């Protein structure tokens, strides 16, 4: 329901306007206050409607359309007034008419709320204080009912046939093709059979240069980890490089989501057949494509829907799986007995499609004990199942129907992204906050309250199985997410109905008249906006508030650039500008701005007083010591929440602060700035920092205290020119705030004694990355009382220590140990292998002694069968 998002965004605009110290004199304040009251009341009414009975849904849909139109009209007028550019010349009669429109839909909303509250079918589903459901994020897709599929395909992979076999996996959308391929690809025993492996997703709008780049990026071999292989060049260059790298190796390549034979034929040219047992797994929903590809090897696997028993198991796994104590336990026993019959009926109506079962499980998890709610889901899935060929899509549509209003905008937002897009969650959070369509947190929350609301919204969509975790962070959290193609298609379709997003995908794409009313535009290929015809067409979407460039980095200056008068969000991070676009300075409503630019930002950029996120990338990355790309007046941008730059100095504090206020009170992220210009006064003016990345040219004494940042959770400090035997001069107590969860150090040359402070005082530390002489000294000795009790991830890279004395009790929670380029290390403590949670140990290009110790630990794990999920990997050039 874009209506709720529109209300939340407009309410935020009104509240910011009323709180502004420079309220526009030509704007009638009483009317703005009256508008704010009516909009707040309207939002409250929608908040109280968690469920809409079937007979009221058409009425609710009409109400949402009316709300959206009324709010959009009023928002346009107010924002033009703020810009002092009203088409109606500040006509108060026009504003009064718009206010009356909002008053009417507010009255309609109150009536509908009361009707639904009194509807017998909605009883027991209302709550004045609804609790947020908490979810368990395993990030894993468990195979249920596809064990035979797994066994058959792994046998084909391990067959004696030496020719390059292509194994197509086909079946209906949502039947689990990608999940099955991923489980095979990640299987430890399968990996042992091949010298190298890689994964690529193709999708409908195929870009071969990107496809070959992705294969090269994900290639991992015995001696080289993913990311080792060069990926620069045009399509033909990359094809030839890929062919050359794979030429004499036995490889496993997964080519996911192929739509036509021409795409496969082009990709196949890069995958040599050297009669060495190489294998290619290919997934496609198009049976004709699978048939053609399988002709040579006569291998084809068509997946079948799950039977009733497995359907019920999968539904229970997605609904109650977080309560399982052991993966081998019968999850169906966790379903309350009074819901068993209804639950099995729901599972049957999903017709054995895993995606349908997973999505419906996301609905049931909201109320795992209410029979009335389960009966309603049963009735709705039954109606959807009766739709014949469209039943699958109708069941997925229930996931949107049942979403609370505050989450519908978040779901629709995903419809603007390309197929199979992997989206960084921190970026998504910043975008949602900048859009303003999330409910405001309680006033007593700290400045990061909105980010926490956005984080919970991501978690909620994942918990409902509408988003999936694509990549985990080093501490096991969520780093990137994605959406199944069928759900993304649902979101994109709904975006069209609700004028939410227009996605520009290709040159010859029609722009219907109604598309000109869309509030957001996304560009899937940046180069399209260099084409005058595409540019001119897209420019007609005059109501757009957001413009997102989501294609790969565009390395050449763009002759055309798109701006809109009322733009709030401009994500042009992958667009390179030779000159600063002066059009940016006219966008007074901007809250989010990102782009690539190598020059100094003009002073006028600080007149964008609403700006909350500013991200500027430099390409190529060149550091000029003693030069700031930021204007001095950046200190006068109090709304800033996130500042991200490729290494730069930070401007000096203003010599005069007449208000005596903390200048950057709302700033939570600052990266990456020169530590040489930081002082105690600078830190005092950004007390709410949670993420800080700093650099310094060479080791020296620091004249500020990082520990004053009481809320700091992530800290990165890099010395650009490290000197062996010399480090920065700093006391551990003043350098490491006690709330830190993640630390990255490089070139700092600290004494190992500082590590004792980390163990004793930083009880919440989860991630520790030590790079390039971060610590100096030949021995890292860990005492028995020196425990990093919550550390989950430890990276040791380019350190020159020789002895490492540690026991499993020093790192009781460690899950991942990564060691790279430690050429002088004499051994790895045996006890490391007995750390209970440890599931990954990776040793890359270390000394022969360290490599030998790593193999010993891995052998102990495999022979003793201590941990079935333990994964040890050694990449060594010594062998």
**Longest CA pairwise span in the chain (Å):** 83
- Give pLDDT tens digits for 524-548: 988 888 888 888 888 888 889 999 9
Element (H, E) at 446: none
Ranking 124-133, 431-440, 546-555, 654-663 by mean pLDDT, the lowest is 124-133
Write out the two tokens for 375.
């009966």
Element (H, E) at 14: helix 2-19
Q: Would you say 480 and 424 are in contact if contact means Cβ atoms under 8 Å apart?
A: yes
Residue from 256, 265, 161, 276 nearest 199 by CA: 256
Examine the pLDDT at 120 and tell me if it is beyond 70: yes
Looking at residue 687, what is its pLDDT? 95
Element (H, E) at 725: none
Element (H, E) at 537: helix 532-539
User: How confident is the model over 246-265, as a mean pLDDT?
Assistant: 94
Q: Residue 33 and residue 78: Cα distance in Å, rounded?
A: 12
DSSP label at 435?
A: H
Angle separating helix axes 485-497 and 391-401, nearest 10 degrees? 70
User: How confident is the model over 660-678, as a mean pLDDT?
Assistant: 91
Ranking 513-522, 541-550, 632-641 by mean pLDDT, the lowest is 513-522
Which comes out higher in pLDDT, residue 604 or 677? 604
The confidence band for 340, taking pLDDT boundaries of 50, 70 and 90, is very high
Looking at residue 509, what is its pLDDT? 83
DSSP label at 508?
A: T
Examine the pLDDT at 819 and tell me if it is beyond 60: yes
What backbone torsions phi and psi does residue 447 show, to the nearest 5 degrees? -65, -20
Q: Would you say 737 and 758 are in contact if contact means Cβ atoms under 8 Å apart?
A: no
Q: Residue 576 and residue 555: Cα distance in Å, rounded?
A: 6
Q: Would you say 407 and 363 are in contact if contact means Cβ atoms under 8 Å apart?
A: no
Looking at residue 9, what is its pLDDT? 93
User: How confident is the model over 675-686, as a mean pLDDT?
Assistant: 90
Looking at residue 137, what is its pLDDT? 44
- Give pLDDT tens digits for 24-43: 676 678 888 888 998 998 98
Looking at residue 798, what is its pLDDT? 95
Examine the pLDDT at 127 and tell me if it is beyond 60: no
Ranking 528-532, 722-726, 735-739 by mean pLDDT, the lowest is 528-532
Examine the pLDDT at 423 and tell me if it is beyond 60: yes
- Give pLDDT tens digits for 439-484: 888 776 789 999 999 999 999 999 999 999 998 888 888 999 999 9
In degrees, to the nearest 5, what angle opens at C-alpha 463 toward C-alphas 668 and 496? 85
Q: Would you say 300 and 280 are in contact if contact means Cβ atoms under 8 Å apart?
A: no
User: How confident is the model over 143-149, as a mean pLDDT?
Assistant: 89
Is residue 252 classed as helix, strand or coil in its secondary structure? strand
What Å distances lie between residue 603 and 581, 582, 664, 685, CA to CA? 13, 12, 17, 20
Judged by phi (left if over 0) then psi (alpha if -120 to 50, else beta), residue 773 lies in left
Cβ neighbours, 10 Å, residue 183: 20
Looking at residue 139, what is its pLDDT? 42
Angle separating helix axes 405-413 and 29-47, nearest 10 degrees? 100
- Give pLDDT tens digits for 394-421: 999 999 999 998 999 999 999 999 988 8
What sign results for the dihedral spanned by CA atoms 809, 714, 745, 792?
Answer: positive
Looking at residue 799, what is its pLDDT? 95
Q: Would you say 529 and 497 are in contact if contact means Cβ atoms under 8 Å apart?
A: no
Examine the pLDDT at 19 and tell me if it is beyond 80: yes
């Amino acid at each position: 329901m874009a209506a709720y998002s529109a209300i939340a965004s407009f309410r935020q605009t009104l509240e910011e306007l009323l709180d502004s110290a420079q309220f526009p004199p030509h704007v009638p304040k009483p009317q703005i206050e009256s508008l704010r009251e009516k909009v707040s009341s309207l939002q409250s009414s929608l908040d109280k409607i968690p469920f809409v009975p079937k007979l009221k849904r058409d009425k609710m849909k009409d109400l949402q359309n009316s709300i959206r139109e009324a709010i959009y009209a009023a928002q346009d007028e107010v924002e033009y007034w703020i810009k002092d550019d009203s088409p109606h010349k500040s006509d108060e009669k026009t504003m009064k008419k718009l206010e009356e429109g909002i008053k009417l839909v507010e009255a309609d909303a109150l009536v509908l709320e009361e009707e639904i509250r009194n509807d017998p079918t909605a009883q027991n589903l209302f709550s004045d204080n609804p609790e947020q459901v908490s979810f368990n994020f395993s990030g894993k897709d468990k195979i249920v009912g596809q064990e035979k599929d797994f066994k058959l395909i792994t046998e084909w992979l391990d067959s004696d046939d030496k020719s390059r076999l292509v194994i197509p996996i086909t079946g209906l959308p949502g039947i689990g093709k990608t999940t099955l391929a991923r489980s095979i690809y990640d299987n430890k025993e399968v990996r042992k059979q091949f010298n190298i492996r890689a994964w690529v997703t193709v999708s409908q709008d195929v870009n071969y240069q990107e496809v070959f780049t992705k294969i090269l990026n994900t290639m991992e071999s015995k001696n080289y980890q993913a990311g080792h292989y060069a990926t620069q060049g045009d399509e033909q260059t990359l094809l030839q490089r890929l062919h050359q790298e794979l030429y004499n190796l036995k490889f496993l390549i997964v080519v996911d989501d192929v739509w036509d034979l021409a795409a496969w034929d082009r990709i196949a040219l890069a995958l040599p057949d050297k009669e060495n047992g190489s294998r290619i797994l290919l997934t496609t929903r198009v049976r004709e494509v699978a048939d053609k590809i399988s002709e040579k090897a006569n291998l084809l696997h068509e997946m079948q829907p799950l039977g009733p028993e497995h359907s019920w198991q999968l539904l229970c796994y997605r609904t109650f799986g977080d309560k399982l104590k052991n993966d081998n336990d019968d999850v169906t026993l966790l379903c309350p007995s009074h819901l068993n019959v209804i639950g099995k009926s729901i599972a049957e109506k999903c017709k054995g499609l895993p995606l349908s079962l997973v999505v419906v499980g996301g609905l049931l998890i909201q109320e795992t004990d209410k029979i009335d709610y389960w009966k309603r889901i049963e009735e709705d899935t039954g109606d959807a199942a009766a739709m014949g060929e469209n039943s699958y899509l109708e069941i997925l549509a229930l996931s949107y129907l049942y979403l609370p209003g505050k989450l519908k905008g978040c779901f629709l937002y995903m419809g603007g992204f390309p197929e199979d897009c992997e989206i960084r969650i921190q970026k998504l959070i910043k975008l949602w906050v900048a859009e303003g369509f999330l409910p405001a947190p309680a006033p007593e929350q700290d400045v990061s309250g909105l980010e926490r609301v956005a984080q919970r919204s991501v978690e909620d969509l994942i918990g409902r199985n509408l988003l999936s975790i694509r990549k985990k962070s080093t501490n096991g959290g969520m780093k990137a997410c994605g959406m199944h193609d069928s759900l993304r298609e649902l979101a994109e379709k709904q975006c069209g109905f609700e004028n939410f997003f227009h996605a520009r995908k290709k040159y010859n794409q029609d722009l219907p008249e109604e598309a000109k009313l869309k509030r957001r535009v996304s560009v899937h290929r940046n180069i399209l906006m260099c084409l005058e015809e595409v540019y001119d067409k897209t420019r007609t979407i005059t109501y757009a508030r957001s413009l997102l460039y989501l294609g790969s980095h565009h390395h050449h200056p763009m002759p055309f650039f798109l701006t809109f008068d009322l733009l709030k969000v401009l994500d042009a991070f992958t667009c390179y500008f030779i000159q600063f676009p002066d059009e940016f300075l006219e966008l007074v409503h901007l809250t989010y701005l990102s782009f690539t630019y190598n020059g100094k930002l003009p002073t006028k950029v600080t007149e964008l007083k609403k700006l909350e996120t500013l991200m500027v990338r430099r390409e190529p990355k060149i550091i000029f010591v003693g030069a700031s790309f930021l204007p001095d007046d950046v200190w006068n941008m109090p709304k800033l929440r996130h500042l991200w730059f490729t290494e730069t100095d930070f401007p000096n504090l203003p010599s005069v602060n007449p208000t005596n206020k903390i200048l950057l009170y709302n700033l939570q992220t600052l990266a990456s700035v020169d530590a040489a210009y930081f002082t105690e006064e600078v830190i005092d003016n950004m007390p709410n920092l949670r993420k800080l990345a700093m650099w310094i040219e060479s080791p020296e004494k620091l004249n500020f205290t990082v520990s004053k940042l009481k809320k700091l959770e992530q800290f990165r400090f890099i010395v650009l020119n490290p000197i062996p035997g010399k480090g920065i001069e700093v006391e551990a107590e003043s350098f490491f705030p006690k709330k830190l969860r993640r630390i990255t150090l490089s070139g700092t040359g600290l004494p190992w004694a500082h590590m004792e402070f980390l163990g004793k005082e930083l009880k919440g530390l989860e991630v520790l990355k030590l790079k390039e002489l971060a610590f100096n000294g030949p021995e890292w000795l860990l005492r028995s009382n020196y425990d990093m009790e919550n550390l989950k991830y430890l990276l040791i890279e380019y350190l020159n220590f020789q002895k490492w004395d540690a026991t499993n009790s020093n790192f009781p929670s460690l899950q991942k140990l990564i060691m790279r380029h430690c050429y002088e290390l004499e051994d790895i403590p045996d006890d490391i292998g007995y750390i209970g949670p440890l599931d990954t140990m990776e040793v890359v290009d270390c000394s022969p002694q360290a490599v030998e110790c790593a193999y010993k630990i891995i052998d102990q794990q495999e022979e003793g069968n201590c941990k079935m999920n333990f994964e040890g990997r050694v990449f060594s050039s010594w062998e």
